Amino acid sequence: MRRLLALSIALAAAPAAAQTALPLIPMPARIAPSAGTLRIAAGSLVSAPGNDVGAAKAAKLLISQVQKDRGIALASGAGGVIRFERDASVDAAEGYRLDVTPQGATIRAREDRGLIWGAMTLAQLLSPDARFGQAVTLPAVSIEDAPRFVWRGLMMDVARHFQPVETLYPIIDAMAAQKLNTLHLHLTDDQGWRVEIKRYPKLTEIGGWRTPPSSGGAPGAKVGGFYTQDELKALVAHAADRGITIVPEIDMPGHAQAAVAAYPEEIGVLGDRPDVSHDWGINPWLFSPSDRSMGFIRNVLDELMAIFPSPFIHVGGDEAVKDQWQRSPLVQAQMKKMGIKTENQMQGWMIAQLGQYLSSKGRRLIGWDEILEGDVPTSASVMSWRGEKGAVEAANKGHDVVLAPAPILYFDSLQSDRSDEPPGRLSIQTLEQVYAFEPVAAGVSADNARHVLGAQATAFSEYLATAKQKEHAIFPRLSAVAELTWSARDKRDWKDFVARLDPQMLRYQREGIAAADSAFAVNFRMQGSRGDALRSGKVMLAMDTQAGAGAIRYATNGKLGGRSQAYSAPLTIRTGASVEAAAYLTDGRAAAAPRRFDASRAALLRATASDLVACPKGALGLRVPLVSGQSEDAPAFNVNIFDTCTQWADAPLGEAKAVTIAVARLPRHYGLAHEESALRAHYAVTAHGELVVRAGGCEGAVVGTFPLPDPKSAPNRMTFSAPVADQKEDANLCFQFTSPLSDPFYAVESVTLADRR
């Protein structure tokens, strides 16, 4: 009970919204504590009515979850201390009641999902702390609960980087444990077609594989993969047993290059056969709106519906640049014959036709918010990703909507500015920012708020190549989504959530989920410039964590241990020292892995890609790997793909006699569509361009000019050095590459200044 008591103490000071110290995510609708306790240990029996299949499945899930998260083996049997019962008086479809008394625990619900969610609540109560394998004493309590929204989801992008089916099962289990009920699978895109369609085998034979992009040398072997229909049916059944619906997405009319590569004559617009794309972003290939193409799509949807019983089928609709349609005499003739004046209206007609077809099969169409540009009927549901504007417009027009807005719910966005974050988008979205998101956007009228079905996180995978990288990006931010989509708005409280997230982080660990500790890791904030520190021989260092959980302790010139000190205010250390720090919880555990700050002169005279900033009029938008599909988090480079220019701000040049720049050549694999005009070319004066280094900013004096090698034959990592002995003070050090836009692009990996001393 020590950990539970610690949570009680922590939450006693929390705002009134915090009802209880119970370690639950999401926060239930109503909690009523009562007198007494109930002890649950290995061998405690779990009972369900003998003729109730749904209750039996919920009981089995409870036993499995408790074994996984607590390490105690419950058993099935009559007369159990834990009982599942049907109760028609539970009004909400997903609602449940959980009563814990000294005599036992009873879960009641009207429907199967309610029994599952009640089981997951009890499983969380039975894993409240770090004492794995030990019996649990539960406080007597009555919980009445039901969700705020009917759509509580996560989108997994398995098209950009194929993800083996076995790695999806732990994601589903972790979702169910927190009452999320929708897994949206992004199954097709320009870079791959991932679902077997038996009528059209080339969709996977050709469309499921791509040649990776090159940074100059010979291309590598093809990469990819796909799911068989049997694999997906098994996944659907596994999810359904856990209260989760899998919503499939076949993207159209855009993001169609993999499909067109497989069947250009059936669905292509201009008759050409492209390669399956390795370029992230927007590519020009579209599905044709011809009768033949529409018949092809309906056939695909038939097989898709046979795999996925989901009421909703997602048809994409996003980022479809219409240049192919505009340049096609056949499409233009079709539009004229139909009296359609714009290509957006043509897309609207196409989506409406598919919506009617799905409706005839008892299904509902949902698409990204661009489908609104084609005046689709209100029977089409809208998933708003371009901020919240699409949700407001759609809901006020009478469409049902799901909120999935960028950047706040885009989980390929980094969680911190730390250098140890894996690749992703540099639009940082912290755990706290995600938790603060409100699905009913301002601007949705009170009458139309009923059209907001809920919200989901999206994990697009251009920069998330492995299952573990995806887990790092998704968890624990998905815990915040679980709460904001289930719990009433007035039940949500950030500090309360952080306290309840601690036992959830333990559950992730036991479940083998590689949840990020970014919100709990110590951040080091050096006060003043590096030059000041090098000249004075002292560094002032502040420390914090995003979540504010625990008390920070640190050790200088060694590892954390018995000699660590409590941090309370910025401290001053000598150059040459190091600091290791972590935030510690009340039971003595570190909330995150210790982080280290190196204050040696060598470290202060070195910058990595994460220390660099954008050049004037630019912005660093992406953190990219050295090689597409890279399985390791590093090396990674913070880049502006529109202008390959970065700076080391206030570099301590006055303390240096020379500079060495480590450079990497990266694949230029970005489909920019109409944004190509924003690319900034720099005049090259050698065959393959140069790295131009300037001191005093990007208009400053040239420190060195280094011709770049032939990408076809040179390694993709190299170093350049130049003297900087004439520099007297700190100054911005600018790195500008002038390689042609047709070539791979370059980024600075690190900058090392040679010490004058």
Q: Residue 152's closest CA among 128, 176, 173? A: 176
SS3 readout for 496-523: HHHHHHHHHHHHHHHCCCCCCCCCCCCE
Distance CA 670, CA 281 (A): 6
| Site of tokens 């997602």 | 314
Comparing C-alpha atoms, which of 262, 270, 183 is closest to residue 226?
Answer: 262
**Exposed (0-12), middle (13-18) or buried (19+): which is 446, by Cβ within 10 Å?**
exposed
As a whole number of angstroms, the distance between CA 268 and CA 187 comes to 19
Q: How far apart are CA 438 and CA 403, in angstroms?
A: 9
Please say whether the beta carbons of 148 and 483 come within 8 A. no
Residue 531 contacts residue 654 (beta carbons within 8 Å): yes
Per annotation, catalytic residue among 319, 343, 462, 483:
319
Q: Produce one character per residue of 626-639: b if its CB has 16 or more CB atoms within 10 Å, e if not.
A: bbbebeebebbbbb
Cα–chain-centroid distance for residue 619? 21
Question: Could you please report the per-residue DSSP string of 209-235?
Answer: EEPPP-SSS-----EE--B-HHHHHHH
Which parts of 212-360 are beta strand (E)?
Answer: 223-224, 245-252, 280-282, 312-316
Whether 319 is catalytic is yes
Nearest to 241 by CA among 90, 66, 53, 47: 53
The pair of three-digit structure tokens given for residue 627, joined into one six-digit string: 């090689």
| Residue 709 preceded by cis peptide, ω within 30 | no
DSSP string, 104-140: EEEEEESSHHHHHHHHHHHHHHT--SS-TTS-EEEEE
Instruction: Please name every residue paired with 555 in a beta bridge, in sequence order, or none if there are none.
Output: 580
CB 716 within 8 A of CB 637: no
**Bridge partner list, 280:** 670
Determine phi and psi for 100, rounding to 5 degrees. -110, 120
Helices (H), strands (E): how many in the chain? 19, 40
Q: What is the 3-state secondary structure (H, E, C) of 615-639?
A: CCCCCCCEEEECCCCCCCCCCEEEE
End-to-end CA distance of the chain: 58
Closest by CA position to 499, among listed 123, 10, 36, 151: 10
Tell me the catalytic residues: 319
